Structure formats: C-alpha cells, structure tokens
Amino acid sequence: MLSPDAFRLDSKVALITGAAQGLGRSMALAFAQYGADLLLCDRKVDELAETAQAARELGANVVTEILDVRDTAAVSQWVSGLERIDVLVNNAGGTFHGAFLDASDKGQRSLVDENFTSVTNFVRAAVPHMGAGSSIINITSVEAYRAAPGFGIYGAMKAAVEHLSRTLALELSVRGIRVNTIAPDGLPTPGDAGLIVGDDDYGKKLALGWGTSDDISGAAVFLASSASRYITGTTVHVDGGSDASRGWHLDSKGNWVP
C-alpha cells in the first residue's frame, strides 16, 4: 500500500545544478521542504547564496559550489570529494535565439556544452557516489519533441538529453539507479527573459496558460522519491498542455484551431 511517507525525501542527499534561480531554485526549496539535504551549484554567487539560505531556513543541510557545469575537470574535482548522492538533478542549461546558419562555432559549442556536456559530466562524476534506489532527473524541454526554429541547436541538445536518459535508464538499472526526464514549457524564469519571439501571447497556446517555476516541483519531488520507484526511462511533461497541442491554439472565440 502506498504510504504518504513515500513522497518524503528524508535522509536523501540531492545534487541540483543551476540551483541559483528559476527552476533549479524551486526544486531545491521543494526538496528541502520534503526533507532532503542539498548539494547546490551555479555560477551566480549571490543568487546561489540566497537559495542556500532559504533552503537552510526550511531545515536542510546545504553545501554550495560556484561552478561552471561545462568545465569537466571542475565538475569531476568537486563531485569526487562528495560522500553520497541519492538524487541528481541536471537542471543547468541555457540558450539564445538565432537562426542555425547564423550561429558561430563558439556559440554552438557553448550550447552543446551547457545543455548536453554538462549532463554527461555530472552523470559520470555522480554515479560512483549513488547506490541502489537513487534517482537521476534530467531537465529537457518541450523543444526536444518538436521543431525549434531559432533554437535549433538547443532543441537538438535537449533531444539528445532525452535520448541519453532512456539509454542510461537501462544501463544504470543494474545499479538500481532510475533515470527520468522532465520537459518543461510555459514556466517563465529569469533565464528566459527576451527569448519569446513573435507578437502572440504564448500563454494562449497552452491549455492551462502560463505556469510558474514552482509548478515543476511536484514532478521533481515525485521522481526523486520512492513513490516513483517503478518508473524509469520516461519523460514527465510539465508544460501546461504544450506537447499535447502540437500546433493547436485558442482563437479569439475560445476555440482550439490548428
């Protein structure tokens, strides 16, 4: 019988990348509320300190590291010094708007490293510290499941993360480690500022309208907890219906039209 305690994260240690603001901060605080201790990293010094303090006020033990997740050596050095990791949340990422043909080699490398290489960095570094019953949660995007004009490389890397996660779900099952992804949309964060293009209200294309960064927390807590112990290799869409609509939108009369 499922117990309410199955959703608790007491005694678990969760590592969350990109934890200074937005989705990472929301997940960190939710994990703290559900009893987890936290290992948090980001490049934003002041914002990371604020997240850590808020989590401590909720009762969590918190360790922070100022870190560029693209730096393989730095990631390996930090994680190698950690004792135990029960939950790994690969949340860090970012993008910019621009046509594929206009992207420079430097810009492309930045997108690849921030959105994909960072995930491989942390999985390789963290798995030796993870035991049976552990959970890896990789944050992808709705852009992994549809065309992404202006965000082509970003979308491709998020699709790569989703595909890698399914493979890791099988490869790491022998260690008792589950691997799942969350694909958000409609959850504005500080990192999204200036990325919405076009004149239409994007929220009108979402069945549930705009959400908030806190709306990712329920899915993250569930996938981190033993309540999801038989779930691996799948994606939870926290997107207000974005993936379901696949091009449909509400017109001025309130009708869904293609």
CB of 123 closer than 8 Å to CB of 168: yes
Total residue count of the chain as it appears in this document: 258
- Residue 251: partners with Cβ closer than 8 Å, 6 or more residues away: 257
CB of 179 closer than 8 Å to CB of 170: no
**34, 145, 154, 230: the active-site residue:** 154
Which regions of 18-156 does DSSP assign to beta strands (E)? Answer: 37-42, 62-66, 87-90, 135-139
Query: Is 154 annotated in the active site?
Result: yes
CA distance 241 to 246: 9
How far, CA to CA in Å, does 151 sit from each of 102, 158, 199?
Answer: 11, 11, 18
Residues identified as active-site = 154
